[in-house]
Structure 1
Amino acid sequence: MTAASSFETRPLLVELLTEELPPKALNKLGLAFAEGIRSVLDKQNLLGGACVTSDFATPRRLAVHLSHVLAQAPEQAYTEKLMPASVGLTPEGKATPALVKKLASKNLEHLGPDDLVHESDGKQDYLYAKGTAPGRSLADAIQEALEHAIVSLPIPKVMRYQLADGVSSVKFVRPAHRLIVLWGGNIIKAHALGLEAGNESAGHRFMAPAAISIKHADTYARQLLDEGKVIVSFNERRQAIAGQLQDHAQRLNATLGTDPAVEALLDEVTALVEHPTVYVGQFDQGFLSVPPECLILTMRLNQKYFPLFEPGTGQLTHRFLIVSNMQVADPSNIVQGNERVVRPRLADAQFFFEQDRKTPLAARVDSLANSVYHNKLGSQLERVERVRQIARYLAAKLDADGDLADRAALLAKADLNSNMVAEFPELQGIMGAYYARADGEPEEVVRALGDQYRIRIDEPVTPDTITSTILFIAERVETLVGIWGIGLVPTGERDPFGLRRAALGIISAFEQLSAGGYLATPNAAGLHVRPLLEEAFRLYAAHPLNAGTVPEVLGFIYERYRNQLGSGYDRNVVDAVLSQQPPLHEVLFRIQACASFAERTESASLAAANKRIANLLKKAEGAPGKVDAGKLSEPAEQALAKVIATLKPQADAQFELGNFTDSLAIMAQAKEAVDAFFADIMVMAEDPAVRANRLALLDELHGAMNRVADISRLAQ
């Protein structure tokens, strides 16, 4: 490294050339590698103020370019708290052995007692070492940065491989072959994974296989593109692929579709190529008789192709786009080769579909007895029977067709043993719907089978979708109760059975049942979550569950709702409503009412009073009895009793009609009487009878004020 001014900045390049990296993790690896290098150099104050970090990642390399890096960091002020002065100094002011040892551990042996600063922490004097120290050099810091970046990579699976010496071995995501560390045009000494830093990289494996000497950190990307046929920026490659895909689709009067899988596939193919070029392929139109989901999945999942769709109808066409890692003048061999490869895949899908069609879906149900759902919960057939009974329970509560709900539940898992689902598990439910339609099953059943794996219900429920919604809820309730009941509750980020998703799905279904008019407010005799969970729990008699399953699952559902609502509503309002565990379909209406109440001038005073009442009632011995009007001797308590007698029937009437805002507004009129009561009345009177009567009066007030929400939780 040539001499440089202490304050001079130059660009820094670090590249690690490897075997092909895991494509689904590549972008994260590139970002993490760049951040690992940057963070250490930043911590060592080696980055100039205008430094820009550029991350690079291709199938065979991770790299980072930092635009302004110092050769040596500026001097740094330091303050080291050492020890109490009484411990560090003798009565004569000499250094004790303890102080000498401490200074040595801090590399401050050159300091003596006179060099130290005395400062008090309010209790005793401490000795501090203060001064400036030379900044860290880039030559020293780069090794630490490299090691940190490599260790910090989010590697999905590490492999151990032997180095060239035939003796040593290292662990990394893939074997590494070259290491570049360039500051400007100068190589900085560093090593990693058995490699010494140099300035040689490699271009495209086929189009430019020769080694490339990188002249300068700033010429890296351009040299690799011009000499090596490699676009090193992940984002630039992604944009190039996306642009080519759109251009080809437009020329063919087609679209890539709107499925989120398109974006995921775009990320994946970006991680598979270094010089992307898009070509057009096609397959025999006879394959379009197979359900399009089968063809789309095999093309995307197995071949990494982009299927094309008709712009108006969204129907699958017989053309697809290939993202190749080769740019050639005549791509016919590439195109024909890919067409030959995809044909047997599509033929397999066609064969599976035609073979599955020979067995009616209903005839597959009995075979589910041979498929284990969970060793503590029985077979898939046992599960089906539980879901059927839950579905009939739901249909009765929602005044829906019980036979349709039962039929949908019976057939819901019948496609699990089909050839197509065995090959493509992602098509569960989808294939069941195709087979059910081919068997002449009712359209409501067909729809239910196809919709059963949705994440949530996002439209108001209608007569056409009520059977789908019933199956959707029944499956999730059966899963939640069963899996939770055998102790497999979510922990941290782990939720292998998707219980959080199941709870949110149930919440969405109740919201949309309400929106569709299937759950009225009030709904005393209708569908409620706790009885539904209890019904599911009862069905596990052959596989006993933990006794506390129902209240735990119920609390879990409301907790998920709390987290979901917390981003859109005041947290105190959400807590005030959900603490009551009201019917799920009423939650949003109650939150809106409670939010409106919180804006009233009376709310703060009533919330505080309600909190005080709750605390008094907790201290009471036994349950409060009924109010004895004859024992209300004080004007303030008589006035409060009169206000309660007047307002409570009105508030209750509005509550029963589902007019939660009006119900709370009526009770807000009690503010003056409540304030006067607490100003003039000693609740915990010495006379036990008087005390009990006043507590009974407050209990009546508490019940009247908290039917919609626990308004004490609005108190700040």
Structure 2
Amino acid sequence: MSTQDFLVELGTEELPPKALKKLSQSFCDGIVKGLASAGLPHGDVHAYAAPRRLAVLVKALSTQQPDCIQNIDGPPVKAAFDADGQPTKAALGFARKNGVEVDQLDRSGAKLRYVQEVKGNPAKDLLPDIVAQSLNDLPIPKRMRWGASRVEFVRPTQWLVMLLGNDVVECEILAQKAGHESRGHRFHHPEKVRISAPANYLEDMRAAWVIADFEERRTLIQKRVHELAAKENGIAIVPDELLDEVTALVEWPVPLVCSFEERFLAVPQEALILTMQDNQKYFCLLDANQKLLPRFITVANLESTQPEFIVEGNEKVVRPRLNDAEFFFKQDKKNTLESHNQRLQNVVFQAELGSVYDKAARVAKLAGYIARTLGSDAQLAERAGLLSKCDLSTEMVGEFPELQGIMGTYYARHDGEHDEVALALNEQYQPRFAGDALPSTVTGQAVAVAEKVDTLIGILGIGKHPTGDKDPFALRRAALGALRIIVGKELALDLVELASEAIAAYGGKLTNADVQTDFLNFMNGRYQTWFVEEGISIDIIKAVLAVNRTQPLDFYKRAKAVQAFKQLPQAEALAAANKRVGNILSKRDQSEPLPELNQQLLQDQEEQTLASAVALHMSDQRMDYPDRLQSLAALREPVDAFFEKVMVNVEDIAVRNNRLALLKQLHDLFLDIADIAELQ
């Protein structure tokens, strides 16, 4: 089988930097999918992307589709021929449709069949449609037109390279005719670049001052930024998203160190870092104590003979940004943080639930209750709750919404608030994402849980439940956040009590009479999402849910204990026995209570042994959940023996009820932790 390398490169105006990586991968995936659909075998596939190009290199692509046998079924043989063996209209029509005579059809099966050999097409004839379809399927939210053309793409196209081996694949895609010629760096090599062969693509582009491999550029930037930071005795902040974006902005990356005036360090460093990263795409530097240095690294897109001019230009550009941050900070400090609550009285939290200030007042109340429950300082929690939303109306947060909470901490400290109160203003939003830190102080934990529970009760209380993937109030995130804090910080909080306090704080504004039930069901649903991530299976979650526990910490401990129990060799048999016991008990008349277990009525050795074992376990409930379940595993043998030798539903009512009482004791022992009958 003959093979050749295949290269496609589409040249464009500068592509959206935040989307470049995704566009590149999608383009590559689409071509691989198209080749598979066409039945064209190939070797390794490489995706390349730079600001003005998307490219895919396919190694050892078959130059010809393989021939194949195509079977086309027709009418049933019985209907295709009459009693004399002559073809009917159905057979004649099927033969005519396929351009053959009836005697050329296969009649050995239940249906007439036309078997034909289909010759494979040359790859060069198939590739244009494969490439065009892949480009058409790119995830582009909004396409644009340019000039008089009606062609649409994410950016205007400039050139197209399509080579199979050394030959051009003749075609026109997105208003560009395929050829050998690419383009080099916009400044270093504006001339056309002839791609000598697909395998030489990267080196041909490198000679034209373009590093076409996205990952190579990314690695180069990352390495050089860290090296430059070390020379400045600093540590570079290199978030993955920012690194990807900068990589997508440059064809020939040259990182350079710049600086700004030290006076700006009086501004909260989070604000300086945010404006430099988001607006200027700079990498900031921290010292060994995680304090911002008056340095940053920019990545130029050319190798300048006078790099000092690039440095000077970037330092000039960043100064107004830092001036703005400094101005906002100084303006905000002219008033106390608490004074911002006045403005929040006119800012709507939710039309039916009042203002943002109303929410802060409710959070204060609920946070105070939580702090008292935990034996902490309720006054600090209430104060933090009252100030929790104040920074939303500050100039700094108005300009940089991502700084909500962070700026509250700075302004509270400036006002002389207790440090736990100040910290809580930022900790209320934790955890912001999976794996994020949890609030470190009890005051912060109280406010964070209160803030989330207030939102859940309020939104569910007016009947606005999340539907499908739509969750405009981020209730799922709030629920998970509250559960993670309660469990992670081992807080003895009860969801029913939290809901009752939160509902009372709304003072009759809620229209959903079943809000508490909806809240508990919603929180129970979040256990499944979270615990499955931790490797706790759904049947374990159902086992604990069956015993209706409303304390998240207790729920988590039970789930972990059942998870360990499930690994024991006795678990499967005990789960089956527990299910059997549950079925037996459910069939009796529930209106008549069972008598106390009577030792005198225990007739068989097996029921006496089981009763003794159950009594032993009932007498010692001091062990923790894992030890209790481990201990209960020892019941497997007496339980198995009981069901093998003892008949429960005997005619003697007293003996029957006594045996049922024994089974209920056994059942209750497990139900005290979880319904292990749910285990699979």
The DSSP-based 3-state class of the residue aligned with 2:314 is helix
Question: Which of 360, 381, 390 is 2:357 aligned to?
Answer: 381
For the residues of structure 2 that align with 1:84 and 1:545, how far apart are their CA atoms?
66
Q: Deviation at 1:690?
A: 7.4
Question: Which of 121, 128, 139 is 1:154 aligned to?
Answer: 139
Q: Is the 8 A contact 1:255 1:308 kept in 2?
A: yes
For the residues of structure 1 that align with 2:415 and 2:226, how far apart are their CA atoms?
39
Which residue does the alignment assign to 1:135?
A: 120
Which residue does the alignment assign to 1:54?
A: 46
Q: Deviation at 1:370?
A: 1.2
Q: Deviation at 1:149?
A: 0.7
For the residues of structure 1 that align with 2:383 and 2:39, how far apart are their CA atoms?
69
Q: Is the 8 A contact 1:158 1:171 kept in 2?
A: no
Give 1:199-210 correspondences, 5 Å limit. Answer: 199-210=180-191
Give 1:356-371 correspondences, 5 Å limit. Answer: 356-371=332-347
Which residue does the alignment assign to 1:4?
A: none
Q: Structure 1 residues 597 and 30 mapped into 2: Cα distance closer, same or farther (>3 Å)?
A: closer
Q: Higher mean Cα deviation, 661-670 or 424-433?
A: 661-670
Q: Structure 1 residues 600 and 297 mapped into 2: Cα distance closer, same or farther (>3 Å)?
A: closer
Q: Deviation at 1:662?
A: 3.5
Q: Deviation at 1:366?
A: 2.2
Q: Higher mean Cα deviation, 292-301 or 245-254?
A: 245-254
Structure 1 residue identity aligned to 2:573: S
Q: Deviation at 1:63?
A: 1.1
For the residues of structure 1 that align with 2:119 and 2:153, how far apart are their CA atoms?
35
Q: Is the 8 A contact 1:93 1:113 kept in 2?
A: no
For the residues of structure 1 that align with 2:163 and 2:626, how far apart are their CA atoms?
68
Q: Is the 8 A contact 1:651 1:664 kept in 2?
A: no
Which residue does the alignment assign to 1:43?
A: 37
Q: Is the 8 A contact 1:624 1:696 kept in 2?
A: no
Question: Which of 240, 245, 248 is 1:271 aligned to?
Answer: 248
The DSSP-based 3-state class of the residue aligned with 1:170 is coil
Q: Structure 1 residues 87 and 506 mapped into 2: Cα distance closer, same or farther (>3 Å)?
A: farther
Q: Deviation at 1:552?
A: 3.4
TM (normalized to structure 2)? 0.91
Q: Deviation at 1:665?
A: 4.3
Question: Which of 559, 578, 594 is 1:610 aligned to?
Answer: 578
Which residue does the alignment assign to 1:549?
A: 515
The DSSP-based 3-state class of the residue aligned with 1:556 is helix
Task: Confirm or deny that 1:22 pairs with 2:3.
Answer: no
The superposition leaves residues 61-100 of structure 1 with CA deviations (integer Å, 9 ceiling, x where unpaired) of 1110111112211212444555544455555556655566
For the residues of structure 1 that align with 2:76 and 2:660, how far apart are their CA atoms?
58
For the residues of structure 2 that align with 1:567 and 1:632, how far apart are their CA atoms?
51
Which residue does the alignment assign to 2:383?
A: 407
For the residues of structure 1 that align with 2:465 and 2:536, how far apart are their CA atoms?
28
For the residues of structure 1 that align with 2:487 and 2:542, how far apart are their CA atoms?
18
Q: Deviation at 1:587?
A: 3.5
For the residues of structure 2 that align with 1:84 and 1:537, how far apart are their CA atoms?
71
Task: Confirm or deny that 1:481 pairs with 2:462.
Answer: no
Structure 1 residue identity aligned to 2:425: L
Q: Is the 8 A contact 2:597 2:661 kept in 1?
A: no
Q: Is the 8 A contact 1:100 1:109 kept in 2?
A: no
Which residue does the alignment assign to 1:115?
A: 105
The DSSP-based 3-state class of the residue aligned with 2:144 is strand
Which residue does the alignment assign to 2:258?
A: 281
Q: Structure 1 residues 147 and 549 mapped into 2: Cα distance closer, same or farther (>3 Å)?
A: farther
Question: Which of 544, 565, 575 is 1:597 aligned to?
Answer: 565
Structure 2 residue identity aligned to 1:153: L
Q: Is the 8 A contact 2:430 2:436 kept in 1?
A: no
Give 1:539-688 correspondences, 5 Å limit. Answer: 539-569=505-535, 571=537, 572-582=539-549, 583-623=551-591, 625-627=593-595, 635-636=603-604, 640=607, 643-644=610-611, 646=612, 650-652=616-618, 654-655=620-621, 657=622, 659-680=624-645, 682-683=647-648
Question: Which of 449, 455, 474 is 1:498 aligned to?
Answer: 474
For the residues of structure 2 that align with 1:446 and 1:44, how far apart are their CA atoms?
63
Structure 1 residue identity aligned to 2:529: N
Which residue does the alignment assign to 1:253?
A: 233
Q: Is the 8 A contact 1:23 1:271 kept in 2?
A: yes
The DSSP-based 3-state class of the residue aligned with 2:296 is strand
For the residues of structure 2 that align with 1:286 and 1:599, how far apart are their CA atoms?
61
Q: Deviation at 1:118?
A: 4.0
The DSSP-based 3-state class of the residue aligned with 2:235 is coil
Give % identity.
38
Q: Is the 8 A contact 2:285 2:296 kept in 1?
A: yes
Q: Is the 8 A contact 2:431 2:437 kept in 1?
A: no
Q: Is the 8 A contact 2:341 2:357 kept in 1?
A: yes
Q: Structure 1 residues 86 and 144 mapped into 2: Cα distance closer, same or farther (>3 Å)?
A: farther
Q: Structure 1 residues 581 and 98 mapped into 2: Cα distance closer, same or farther (>3 Å)?
A: farther
Task: Confirm or deny that 1:180 pairs with 2:161.
Answer: yes
Q: Is the 8 A contact 1:44 1:136 kept in 2?
A: no
Q: Is the 8 A contact 2:585 2:660 kept in 1?
A: yes
For the residues of structure 1 that align with 2:78 and 2:342, how far apart are their CA atoms?
84
Which residue does the alignment assign to 1:212?
A: 193
For the residues of structure 2 that align with 1:484 and 1:62, how far apart are their CA atoms?
47
Q: Deviation at 1:667?
A: 3.9
Counting matched residue pairs gives 677
Task: Confirm or deny that 1:537 pairs with 2:527.
Answer: no
For the residues of structure 1 that align with 2:48 and 2:357, how far apart are their CA atoms?
51
Which residue does the alignment assign to 1:122?
A: none
Q: Is the 8 A contact 2:396 2:407 kept in 1?
A: yes
For the residues of structure 1 that align with 2:535 and 2:170, how far apart are their CA atoms?
56
Q: Is the 8 A contact 1:298 1:346 kept in 2?
A: yes
The DSSP-based 3-state class of the residue aligned with 1:17 is strand
Q: Structure 1 residues 210 and 596 mapped into 2: Cα distance closer, same or farther (>3 Å)?
A: closer
